[in-house]
A and B are shown apart, each in its own frame.
Chain A
Amino acid sequence: MIVYPEGVFYCHVEADDVAEIVEEHLLKGRIVERLLFKEPLTEETIPSYQDIDFYKKQHRIVLSNCGRINPESIQEYIAAGGYEAAGKALTEMTPEEVIAEVKNAGLRGRGGAGFPTGLKWELTRKTESDKKYLVCNADEGDPGAFMDRSLLEGDPHRIIEGMIIAAYAIGADEGYIYIRAEYPLAIERLELAIEQAQNLGLLGKDILGSGFDFDLHIKKGAGAFVCGEETALMASIEGKRGMPRPKPPFPSVSGLWGKPTNINNVETFANVPYIINYGAEAFNSIGTEKSKGTKVFALTGKINNTGLVEVPMGITLREIIYDIGGGMNQGKKFKAVQTGGPSGGCIPAELLDLKIDYESLQEVGAMMGSGGMVVMDDSTCMVDVARFFLSFTQSESCGKCTPCREGTKRMLEILNRICSGEGREGDLELLEELANHIKETSLCQLGGSAPNPVLSTLLYFRDEYEAHIKDKRCPANVCEGMGAVYVIDENKCVGCGMCARVCPIEAISGKPKEPYRINEDLCISCGACAAKCPVGAISQG
């Protein structure tokens, strides 16, 4: 349709659009932009994915299909090369060859601990038994981590394919995917994917004519963090309380229902098809000497581009945070990055150029973990951060062993009192004593790593702890109710009233030109008044 006298050409006009054209163009004289015919733009003006900062330094192996294919279509997965690796492994390779390939690739467990995957498979393969199980640990529980969820939602067939290959390698005919019930969409897509794979004969009896049988079940977890620990996870699959048991025996010897069992994380399985398709060398050419391939991180916190990234091992934290993550939000100052979730640690600015792999992170008191990466700026109180993570592990402890159940509680009590301004001389030493004790004597790695956030912040941010204890001050102004309240020096106060205006809880009163007063009972020690006072009359008493 063409509107005269301007001669404006509108195209694909619908009945509804006419009303708008009449209203906007004819009555108000404004051209309805969206219906205008435009000269087609060349696509090149839009940046390619590979050219935008967020993706430039990424290396997407396990995420290569995520966001590209329809996760509910096995056809799209197959068209993208899916199940080729499983077919190749099952029909053209022996289990030993598969294990050798994975060993040569240098793939290590992506759940956090970094145990060599091929070796784990070999141990399970070598245990003689009439029955073996394969388990996928999808009990992703770290606060702020969503790698597994995204993978399972975005490319469920890749995990199934990885599991088929692993099952073939170890000699298991039955597998479980243990996934938290809080991931309904991932469960739905997995269920659909399993059904599709079964219908095409990629799961079940005699897969691709190889004579190898393998089928999969989904087991929903009730959201206990400790069920990510492999022995607790197995207990939970068996219908028992999710409580870790001592190792040995390791699952490779006695796992599910006493049978040899191999447990790997979602991301670990997702790497396997690539290794089989492209070979160990293609994989181990990426990464550092001891950590090969890529790692998926869930990038969150005070940076510009939050999201899910896959980067080669050996990339620096600076590259992830500044190049991929786009730097700090609102131009604030970087303070620390927390990796490894409640089992990890906080890494300070001076270590930003650390090349990340399993070993380097452990050396600085953090951990690869499953891939949570929380970036913090200078408005974050590191004592409060330590307290947050410890309160998480404390309440998620299974309660079985003494150090974890009782010890983390006592540590949390100490942190609570430090954060409320009641910290005492000797508290930091007591914290360290308990932290090391819990690490050394806990039954499982939940307790074994629970003190890490406290220890790493004590290592890099001890001055903040000391400010809380000695000066009764929270340098980041996060901890409320620190013991020492603020007072106004009557001799210095000029009665401008600015303090009263900034006080968030109206604890300051007075008349103009006369000294103001702070109500000690109300003061929350936030320090806003002291920062505002033009004559420096306010200080902590």
Chain B
Amino acid sequence: MKSLKELRELRETLQKEISARNSAGKPKIIIGMGTCGIAAGAREILHTVLEEIERRKLDVVVTQTGCIGMCEKEPLLDVQLPGKERITYGNLKKDDVKRIIVEHVINGNIVTDLAIARFEEGRD
């Protein structure tokens, strides 16, 4: 990039791509992979997610994020379905992951007893 203008154009393109993906793309699973999350078992959660996706042949994007601050509730995992709000689950065990995938990712039902919070767009 050689100018601020180019940067801004890139940003616009990226934002469009992301919002298109969010409204019509694939379901997304986001795992909290800070040191605190990893220490609480995030790697095992990640492996379980990948196993389940493989087993069920799901078309899901798996990505990671840093620490959101609730170290007490790690490991954390977010699910974002196209066009829906991003939901955070916490204090997860391996078996919880299977439930979240079947009930939320596949069936679109939020697992209320594991859910902690949701990202509300436009509010910071």
Contacts and interface: CB of A to CB of B under 8 A. Distances in A.
Interface stretch (A86-94, A244-252, A279-287): A86-94
B98 interface: yes
B4 A305 contact: no
A316 B57 CA distance: 51
Contact of B1 (A49, A69, A75, A208): A208
Contacts of A54: 69-70
B64 to A, nearest CB: 6
Contacts of A154: 34, 65-68
Q: Contact residue range for chain B? A: 35 or more
A41 B103 contact: no
Contacts of B56: 12, 14
A54 B36 CA distance: 17
Which of B84, B102, B108 is most buried by chain A, counting CB atoms within 10 A of its CB? B102
B98 A34 contact: yes
Contacts of A12: 56, 102, 106-107
B69 A66 contact: yes
A92 B102 CA distance: 51
A83 B7 contact: yes
B103 to A, nearest CB: 6
Given A46-B115, A70-B64, A200-B1, A79 B70 contact: no
Contacts of A73: 63
A461 interface: no
Contact of B87 (A46, A68, A208): A46
Contacts of A65: 66
Contacts of A68: 65, 68, 119
Contacts of A47: 117-118
A84 B84 CA distance: 28
A66 B4 contact: no
A72 interface: yes
B23 interface: no
A104 interface: no
Given A149-B35, A150-B34, A70 B103 contact: no
Contacts of B10: 78
A91 B67 contact: no
Contacts of A45: 110, 112
B60 interface: no
A430 interface: no
B70 to A, nearest CB: 5
A87 B7 contact: yes
A63 interface: yes
Contacts of B124: 50, 60, 64
Given A50-B120, A78-B7, A40 B109 contact: yes
Contact of A88 (B4, B11, B14, B118): B4
A374 B99 CA distance: 36
A34 B36 contact: no
Nearest to A68: B65
Contacts of B14: 75-76, 78-79
B116 interface: yes
Interface string B76-98: 10000000110110000000001
A146 interface: yes
A81 interface: yes
15 contacts: A34-B98, A34-B99, A38-B109, A43-B110, A47-B117, A49-B117, A49-B120, A49-B123, A66-B68, A66-B69, A84-B7, A87-B7, A153-B67, A185-B35, A309-B69
Interface of A: 11-12, 14, 16, 34-35, 37-41, 43, 45-50, 52, 54-55, 58, 60, 63-73, 75-76, 78-79, 81, 83-84, 87-88, 90-92, 146, 149-150, 153-155, 183, 185-186, 200-202, 206, 208-209, 304-310
Given A55-B117, A208-B7, 13 more contacts: A12-B107, A14-B55, A38-B103, A41-B109, A46-B115, A52-B116, A67-B68, A71-B64, A71-B65, A87-B7, A88-B4, A201-B2, A305-B70
Can you list the 9 inter-chain pairs with the closest CB atoms, starting with the nearest? Answer: A154-B66, A67-B68, A87-B4, A48-B120, A79-B14, A308-B69, A307-B71, A150-B67, A38-B109
